[in-house]
Amino acid sequence: MAVRGRKSIEQHIPITDPTKPDVVDIPNIAMRRVVIPIRGISPLVVHAWSEKAIRQMLDKQTSAAKLKKPPKDPNADFEAAKYKDPDGKDCLKPCFFKNAIVSAARFVDGVTMTAMKMSFFVKGDENDNLPLKFSKCEMHRGMVRNESGVADIRFRPMYHNWSTSIEIHYFANELTLSQVILLVRQSGLRVGLCEGRPEKSSLNWGRFDVDMAALKGAKIISESVAA
């Protein structure tokens, strides 16, 4: 029995012809890539988690029996704090730049930090490496306080005149190439990378900029890539 004032449900079901194929219109997802050369403008200090530190943390969390800590070895701590590729060469992680660029979105009109997390990608994951070039790597000695409040000395690698390159994939319908380059520049000048960066410290380490001379000289342009 029909209900007065309501249209029949059948009226809302589209009539299809099973003998004809369905036509599906899928919008094109325009994704582009650009390789951007980076040059450091302040010393870069890194602190990778060493196997020793990871093991000590795991032992603490699993209540494993612990031996007395051996004497501090500055050279061993210095080397263990480096990020290295399988060949033992110094490197950086792509995610460092991803995090810095997302944080810098607050300084660029028309983009947000939330959207930026999904609008561009720095090629590589946590297991990939970006080759790091530098003129000198020295041991930096820093005074810190542990969680217990006890003073401690940390030995970290400090790179001078460092440089690398990052490959960015971005959605062209959401970002322009100019915005991408501006975001990278803002992330380097305001946020920085790794230890003592401006975002977290007054030391101003880890600052960088786009190497504009190399960018123009290589005629690097945005190219289409598969989404």
pLDDT digits (tens, 9 = 90+) for 177-211: 999 999 999 999 999 999 999 999 999 999 999 99
Q: On the CB side of 84, how many CA atoms lie within 13 Å of its CA?
A: 12
Q: Between these two residues, 143 and 83, which has the higher pLDDT value?
A: 83
Tens of pLDDT along 17-37?
677 777 777 778 888 999 999
Domain with 220 in it: 29-60+72-225
Q: What is the pLDDT of residue 144?
A: 76
Q: Assess whether pLDDT exceeds 90 at residue 66.
A: no
Structurally, how many domains does the chain consist of?
1
Q: What is the pLDDT of residue 151?
A: 80
Dihedral in degrees, nearest 10, Cα atoms 72, 76, 82, 85: -150
Which residue spans within the chain are E strands per DSSP?
31-40, 44-45, 91-92, 120-122, 130-131, 136-145, 151-160, 163-171, 208-210, 223-225
- Cα–Cα distance for residue pair 201/195, rounded to 1 Å: 8
- Cα–Cα distance for residue pair 127/155, rounded to 1 Å: 24
Q: What is the pLDDT of residue 139?
A: 97
Measure the CA angle with vertex 29, ends 123 and 225; round to 5°. Answer: 40
Q: Is residue 154 part of a domain?
A: yes
Q: Assess whether pLDDT exceeds 60 at residue 74.
A: yes
What residues contact residue 131 under an 8 Å CB cut-off, 6+ apart? 85, 89, 91, 164
The predicted model gives 209-224 an average pLDDT of 76
Q: Is residue 14 part of a domain?
A: no
Q: Between these two residues, 154 and 52, which has the higher pLDDT value?
A: 154
Q: Is residue 4 part of a domain?
A: no
Q: Is residue 23 part of a domain?
A: no
Q: What is the pLDDT of residue 12?
A: 60
Q: Is residue 20 part of a domain?
A: no
Q: Is residue 116 part of a domain?
A: yes
DSSP symbol at 188: I
Q: What is the pLDDT of residue 72?
A: 81
The predicted model gives 159-164 an average pLDDT of 98
pTM of the model: 0.79
CB 126 within 8 A of CB 49: no
Q: Is residue 15 part of a domain?
A: no
Tens of pLDDT along 79-108?
999 999 999 999 999 999 999 999 999 999
Q: For all residues of the chain together, what is the average pLDDT? A: 84
Q: What is the pLDDT of residue 10?
A: 53
Identify the bridge partners of residue 171 per DSSP, sorted by sequence position. 31
What residues contact residue 129 under an 8 Å CB cut-off, 6+ apart? 83, 84, 85, 91, 92, 93
Q: What is the pLDDT of residue 227?
A: 57
Q: Is residue 67 part of a domain?
A: no
What residues contact residue 100 under an 8 Å CB cut-off, 6+ apart? 187, 188, 191, 192, 193, 197, 199
Q: On the CB side of 20, how many CA atoms lie within 13 Å of its CA?
A: 6
